[in-house]
Structure 1
Amino acid sequence: MKTVYKIVALALFFSAMSGFSQETTSTNYDQGFRLGFGLNVGYPLQDPYDFNLGADARLQYDLSKRYSVTLTTGFSNLFISGDDNDLGYIPLQAGFKAFILKDKLYLLGEAGAAFAVTNGYNKTSLLLTPGIGYATDIIDISLRYDHFSDFPTIENGTQDKGLGLVSLRVAYGFKL
């Protein structure tokens, strides 16, 4: 798992470095804020979770035409079949977005915390999220991997922790 994070971090770093060397100095670009509201559906990679469903709000500040910083929060629920309780959580993450192709295709890295808020489970987990996406002026579609370091899982019939989640996010965004 650490290897995946290192590869994503290196890809973001080299993307950023190549962008700095190619970016022209333009004084006409309007830096500013964007706000997006998204729906998320995900597939958990560990038991006992069946699927994830959530909504989020992302505030984005465009540093340049190619680079942005983000702040994302919302509410998501990990559904469990049977008599066990679902796990609802509030993610709070800060991140960096680098556009790598025609100002539409981007790489995103976010880090933060997931605060469990339902069914008596009240622990907080480190949340790391690399992703890739496609954005226009109003639509943002991304595929990402979320890793929750401290959420409980079941591995070979025994209690464990560390949950992986593959998610699809579809969002509507606009300039503020």
Structure 2
Amino acid sequence: MKSLKISALVLALAAFTFGAKAQTKSTTTPTGPRLSIGADAGIPTGKLSDGYNWNLGGSAQVEFPIANQLFLTVNAGYNNIFGKKDVTFTTVTGNTTTTIKGDVQNIQLLPVKAGLKFFPVNNFYVQAEGGAGFLLNKKDLGYTKSTAFIYAPQVGVLLPLTASSNLDLGVRYEGSTKYADVDGSTLNFVALRVAYSFNL
């Protein structure tokens, strides 16, 4: 199932690339400030995938032109990472090993990021952001930190809708530093963002 999800994301990325090439003859890179509002969906990677299936959320992003084909971005959103059901947990205390079965608590995450978005060719972009991820349910998860550094490289394409609006499709890898002093407390996932983008 996981390989099917990853294959779907790879195919989506390929479609973005071909879409970008198709658009280069008829459209141009945006030149003014823009706002985009969209939905985010993804799949956990690394140790996070042991207890979690997928994530869903939304985000808003403002973009300010700072040079030719280069934009400063500010992005804030919300992600709910859905825990798996009926997972077997094993704990060791001294010489005693305890095994229980239960559901994994969902993670509620508020990411706030800033970065750069560059258009190497018309409508096709690469983007890199960094910032902070705020856990809204740290106590429920048993983590010791409510905030961690997050980073998110991304590629995407703008598909024109009207003269002043686009459909912004992006695929990113989002990672974090640890939310607790134990292995597996980083929140890493691959995500697809589908957003409506328009001139301000």
> Does TM-score exceed 0.5, indicating one fold?
yes
Is the Cα contact below 8 Å between 1:73 and 1:90 reproduced in 2? Answer: yes
The separation in 1 between residues aligned to 2:41 and 2:62, in whole angstroms, is 20
Is residue 2:17 matched to residue 1:36?
A: no
1:51 maps to which of 38, 51, 54: 54
Is residue 2:193 matched to residue 1:169?
A: yes
Q: Which has the larger radius of gyration?
A: 2
Q: Which residue of 2 aligns with 1:11?
A: none
Q: Which residue of 1 aligns with 2:149?
A: 126
The residue type paired with residue 92 of structure 1 is: V
Is the Cα contact below 8 Å between 2:38 and 2:195 reproduced in 1? Answer: yes
Per-residue deviation, 1:150: 1.6
Is residue 2:104 matched to residue 1:84?
A: yes
Runs of 4+ in 1 over 6 A off after TM superposition: none
The residue type paired with residue 115 of structure 2 is: G
Is residue 2:104 matched to residue 1:104?
A: no
Between Structure 1 and Structure 2, the one with more strand by share is 1
Is the Cα contact below 8 Å between 1:85 and 1:119 reproduced in 2? Answer: no
Give TM-score, length-normalised by structure 2.
0.65
Is residue 2:140 matched to residue 1:140?
A: no
The residue type paired with residue 157 of structure 2 is: Y
Tell me the secondary structure at the aligned position of residue 104 of structure 2.
Answer: coil
The separation in 2 between residues aligned to 1:65 and 1:90, in whole angstroms, is 31
**Alignment: residue pair count:** 143
Give the 3 Å change call, closer, same or farther, for CA 52–151 of structure 1 in structure 2. farther
The residue type paired with residue 123 of structure 2 is: K
2:135 maps to which of 110, 116, 133: 116
How much is the aligned-residue C-alpha RMSD, in angstroms? 2.3
Give TM-score, length-normalised by structure 1.
0.74
Cα deviations by residue, 1:120-152 (Å, 9 ceiling, x for unpaired): 256111100001110144110011100021246
Is the Cα contact below 8 Å between 1:36 and 1:173 reproduced in 2? Answer: yes
Residue segments in structure 2 that go unaligned for 5+ positions in a row: 1-28, 86-102, 160-164
Is the Cα contact below 8 Å between 1:44 and 1:165 reproduced in 2? Answer: yes
Give the 3 Å change call, closer, same or farther, for CA 48–145 of structure 1 in structure 2. same
Q: Which residue of 1 aligns with 2:76?
A: 73
